[in-house]
């Protein structure tokens, strides 16, 4: 084959595609749909995994939850001192947090309590404590996520919000600002306020906390610290960061099974086209090859032209499919399709999928489609091109 790109071959290939415009259009549409579906699902998966992993990486190594009759119960704040005495523990925080149901629009908010003079277990919370004054008992305030802000504004809460306490009275809390954490998934439905205000809303005594998070200085000592904590709190549920990662991975494995059925159907349709191409050229294509051989074209010339023809169709379709997938996922936020992975629920404010460009994904989809189609075009073309011109014409 010629080593240099021949413009005339490309021009001839374009004309050949246009001569069979309906067949070429059908192949291109199926190619685009397959590429679009594959790439969209990979983009959604990569974005959600990035969000979850970023959120999990920011968490402490161990979480302790007190249970009573196998149900979550409040834990005593005084237990923090016992935990800090364990060798290997670098820090421990008694967390005050919970979910608040905003009935007007039917969503849940995550309320997190903080104190200015304690070590925060997340960098995002440290930034909020350093930036905002939330401990004023006379005028309590809070910092909210972007999803919470949109939800509150639908009910015309722009400067404050009235929380309904367990006794039916209202607790007015001013909105001090809107924050962006390391991940959109983390901050989207979160409300950060002082622990005093959070306890008042949840009707929780000052001596109680929701759970305790534990930091371990040396990751290799997590198992040792975990064993000591289980001896100290046999009735409690103790969860490590790795346990959470495994749990999320199991969810993805289950959700991926739903996608697999959709993927197999699309791939089956694509390989029907490939089989049709490999099984032989149409009579019109055979006659065209015969005419070209009669005009003096060599076998390698015919293969070069067929390569350009198949490459133009497949690469153009691949590019369109990837472009549509990017717009669908990162601009329109993948309506319906992303619900396969995150579930459909109005109980949480919607969050935006972050842009995560995975080059490996693009290469994977490319090699699953473009080279296969090119090979499926060249193999039957080579078979016909090696025959005599008069035999092909007959």
| Contact residues for 250 (Cβ-Cβ < 8 A; gap 6+) | none
Is residue 235 within 8 Å of 67, Cβ to Cβ? yes
Tokens of 234: 């046999």
Residue 268 scores a pLDDT above 80:
no
Tell me which residue of 163, 169, 168 sits closest to 197, measured CA to CA: 163
Partners of 216 in the beta sheet? Answer: 89
Residue 345 confidence class, pLDDT cut points 50, 70, 90: very low
171 close to 163: Cβ distance less than 8 angstroms: yes
Q: Rounded to an integer, what distance in angstroms lies between the CA atom of residue 386 and that of residue 30?
A: 30
Q: What is the CA radius of gyration of the chain?
A: 31
Q: How far is CA 141 from CA 138, 191, 394, in A?
A: 10, 10, 87
CA 272 to CA 287: how far, in whole Å?
24
Greater confidence (101 vs 387) lies with: 101
pLDDT digits (tens, 9 = 90+) for 62-75: 999 998 887 889 99
Provide the total of helices (H) and of strands (E) in the chain, helices listed first: 14, 12
Per-residue confidence band for 347, with pLDDT thresholds at 50, 70 and 90: very low
- Range of weakest confidence among 150-154, 186-190, 299-303, 327-331: 186-190
253 pLDDT band, cuts 50/70/90, is low
Cα 369–304–282 angle (5° rounding)? 70
pTM flag (> 0.85):
no
In the prediction, which pLDDT does 346 show? 46
CA nearest 106: which of 394, 350, 317? 350
Q: Are 284 and 51 in contact (CB under 8 A)?
A: no
Distance, CA of 162 to CA of 171 (rounded, Å): 5
- pLDDT tens digit sequence for 194-238: 999 999 999 999 999 999 999 998 888 999 999 999 999 998 999
- CA 70 from chain centre, in angstroms, equals 32
CA distance 120 to 262: 44
The SS3 of residue 253 is: helix
Pull the structure tokens for residue 116: 């200015």
Query: Mean pLDDT throughout 144-169?
Result: 90
281 has a pLDDT exceeding 80: no
Q: How far is CA 135 from the centre of its chain?
A: 36
User: Which pair of structure tokens corresponds to residue 179?
Assistant: 């924050």
How far is 172 from 181, CA to CA, in rounded Å? 25
Angle at 170 between CA 166 and CA 171, to 5 degrees: 100
For residue 265, what pLDDT is reported? Answer: 67
For 41, 113, 145, 154, 275, the CA distances from 149, given in Å and listed in that order, are 29, 18, 6, 9, 54
């Amino acid at each position: 084959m010629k080593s240099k790109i021949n413009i005339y071959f490309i021009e001839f290939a374009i004309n050949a595609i246009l001569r069979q415009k309906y067949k070429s259009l059908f192949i291109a549409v199926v190619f685009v749909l397959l590429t679009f579906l594959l790439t969209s699902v990979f983009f959604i998966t990569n974005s959600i995994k990035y969000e979850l992993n970023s959120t999990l990486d920011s968490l402490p190594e161990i979480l302790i939850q007190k249970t009573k009759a196998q149900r979550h119960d409040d834990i005593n704040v005084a237990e923090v001192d016992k935990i800090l005495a364990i060798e290997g523990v670098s820090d421990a925080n008694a967390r005050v947090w919970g979910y608040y149901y905003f009935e007007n629009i039917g969503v849940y908010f995550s309320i997190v309590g903080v104190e200015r003079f304690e070590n925060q277990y997340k960098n995002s919370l440290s930034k909020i404590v350093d930036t905002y004054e939330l401990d004023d008992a006379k005028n309590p305030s809070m910092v909210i996520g972007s999803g919470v802000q949109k939800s509150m504004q639908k009910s015309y809460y722009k400067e404050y919000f009235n929380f309904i306490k367990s006794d039916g009275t209202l607790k007015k809390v001013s909105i001090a600002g809107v924050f962006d954490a390391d991940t959109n998934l983390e901050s989207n439905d979160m409300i950060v306020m002082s622990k005093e205000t959070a306890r008042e809303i949840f009707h929780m005594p000052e001596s109680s906390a929701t759970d305790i998070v534990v930091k371990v200085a040396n990751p290799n000592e997590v198992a040792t610290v975990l064993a000591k904590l289980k001896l100290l709190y046999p009735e409690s549920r103790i969860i490590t960061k790795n346990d959470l990662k495994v749990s999320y991975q199991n969810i993805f494995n289950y959700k991926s099974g739903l996608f697999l059925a959709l993927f197999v159907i699309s791939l089956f349709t694509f390989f029907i086209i490939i089989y049709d191409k490999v099984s032989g050229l149409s009579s019109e294509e055979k006659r065209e090859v015969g005419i070209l051989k009669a005009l003096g074209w060599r076998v390698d010339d015919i293969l070069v032209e067929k390569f350009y023809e198949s490459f133009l169709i497949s690469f153009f379709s691949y590019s369109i499919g990837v472009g549509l997938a990017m717009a669908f996922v990162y601009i329109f936020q993948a309506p319906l399709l992303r619900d396969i992975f995150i579930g459909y629920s109005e109980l949480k404010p919607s969050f935006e999928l972050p842009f995560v460009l995975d080059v490996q994904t693009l290469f994977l989809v490319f090699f699953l489609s473009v080279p296969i189609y090119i090979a499926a075009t060249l193999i039957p073309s080579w078979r016909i091109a090696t025959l005599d011109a008069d035999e092909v014409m007959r």
